Amino acid sequence: MNQLLKPTLGVIFSGRMLVCLLMGFSCGVPLLLTGSVLQAWMVEDGVDLATIGMFALVGLPYTVKFLWAPVMDRFTLRFFGRRRGWLLCAQIALMCAIAGLGMTNPAQNPWLLAGMALLVTFFSASQDIVVDAYRREDLSDEELGLGSSLYVNGYRIGMLLAGSGGLILADFVSFQTVYLLMAATMLVGIAVTLLAREPEMPEGTPQTLRAAVIDPFREYFSRSDAWLILAFILLYKIGDIMASAMSVPFYLDIGFSKTEIGAVAKLFGFWATIIGGLIGGVWMLRFGINRALWIFGVLQAVSTAGFAILAMIGYSLPGLAAVIAFENLSGGMGTAAYVAFMASMTNKKFTATQYALLSSLMGIPRVMAAAPTGFMVESIGWISFFTFCALIAIPGLMLLNRFAPWRQKSIKN
């Protein structure tokens, strides 16, 4: 037992895993600074709701980041190597952009605010591109699951600091000060980049920009299961996403107060998700990504069905706590396996471009699947809606038979 435990603990507490956690934190901080925190600042400064709504467009770089990812696969900067050189540039630019965003005035110059917010999302998306490529190239296939789960947990902690922490701070200091403080937190990512090792550059990396743009797509779509993998990425968490989109209206509709939702569904649920991600990462380290995708996918579907049971029971704090704990634990595990799977599907020659493409596709269900959920609830009711969300996970799981069979421990390109 000790002989099996020591190597596992050695990987868990290695410097490589700490790098994954801290890089995830650095990537998570900027997201809500152009989302909920910026919205709160604009409301406080008297910006009209129509303008606030239009600011959702500044998040576009996260969706189309694959357009400039080939540049980061093709060119190696003269300092710090192929990955750390680009990462350091993106992080320094991002820190300056966040600080610059904090120096604007939403009411007096909303166009300047929009421009600075767009710079923040562009450099944040660029940081995401390089961090995802770095993680894939630095970790072995066996370490990828745990590294991905730590990255996701670090990302969530960064979001919590910027989102909840930023809004709480704004009650005591100005929003300008909040943004300057958040810009300073990017020093964590810069320090990690300076101290981390540079991954070995694989042979066969693109030698021209044309090759960097075309070869990643040519290589990916030459695989026999390429389209099935894309379908799986779109379907694996679709039920979980649809259920989450209607969770707060559901809680309110069956009688929970906003305080109860905040305490149980948000705070308690956050830590359940973190624990689920850690459990999922350790499980994948021992048993591989394939089996994790099967088990965590089934758990996600069952936990979604728990909402239907809560709809039958009605108002019950213990019931809410149980459903939230199960749903967030399984969701944390499922997300860890999902992110690790996408990384494992990339070819190390074109990691930045291929992962940027796959992660952009991952965001499609968040918009397309969530949009009709309100109409569905009005038509069929809460119980039928959550039952549907649980059953819609089945097609994604069935696709696993083709490219991630249970008996195959790890996924190979």
Domain ranges of the chain: 1-201, 210-413
Question: 210-413, superfamily in CATH?
Answer: MFS general substrate transporter like domains (1.20.1250.20)
What's residue 407's pLDDT? 65
Q: Among 125, 126, 98, which Cα is nearest to 37's?
A: 98
First-to-last C-alpha distance (Å) of the chain: 32
Which ranges of 103-142 would DSSP assign to H, the alpha helix? Answer: 110-138
Residue 116 CB contacts under 8 Å (≥ 6 apart), including other chains = 97, 100, 101, 104
pTM to 2 decimals? 0.84
> What tens digit of pLDDT does each residue of 243-270 get?
887 887 888 888 888 778 777 766 777 7
What's residue 50's pLDDT? 75
Is the pLDDT confidence value at 111 over 80? yes
What's residue 277's pLDDT? 82
Q: How confident is the model at residue 367 (pLDDT cuts 50, 70, 90)?
A: low
Residue 259: burial class (beta carbons within 10 Å; 0-12, 13-18, 19+): exposed
Same fold, 1-201 and 210-413: yes
Dist CA 209 CA 337 (whole Å): 32
Tell me the Cα Rg of the chain: 21
Can you tell me the mean pLDDT for 303-313? 91
3 state SS of 303: helix
Residue 227 CB contacts under 8 Å (≥ 6 apart), including other chains = none
Which is more confident, 239 or 182? 182
Output DSSP code: residue 107.
T
CA 333 to chain centre: 13
Q: Among 21, 297, 326, which Cα is nearest to 147's?
A: 21
Output DSSP code: residue 262.
I
Which is more confident, 138 or 93? 93
What's residue 187's pLDDT? 96
Angle, CA 242 vertex, CA 43 and CA 118 arms, to 5°: 40
Is the pLDDT confidence value at 333 over 70? yes
> What tens digit of pLDDT does each residue of 337-354 get?
888 888 888 888 888 888
| Residue 173: other Cβ atoms inside 10 A | 11
Average pLDDT over the chain, rounded to whole?
Answer: 85
> What tens digit of pLDDT does each residue of 55-92 get?
778 888 988 898 999 999 888 888 888 899 999 999 99
Which ranges of 288-391 would DSSP assign to H, the alpha helix? Answer: 289-313, 317-344, 351-362, 364-368, 373-391
According to CATH, what is the number of the domain 1-201? 1.20.1250.20
| Residue 168: other Cβ atoms inside 10 A | 10
Dist CA 26 CA 236 (whole Å): 27
What's residue 220's pLDDT? 87
pLDDT > 70 in the chain, percent: 92
Quote the tokens at residue 196. 């981390």
Output DSSP code: residue 345.
T
Can you tell me the mean pLDDT for 89-114? 92
Is the pLDDT confidence value at 409 over 60? no
Is the pLDDT confidence value at 2 over 60? no
What's residue 413's pLDDT? 46
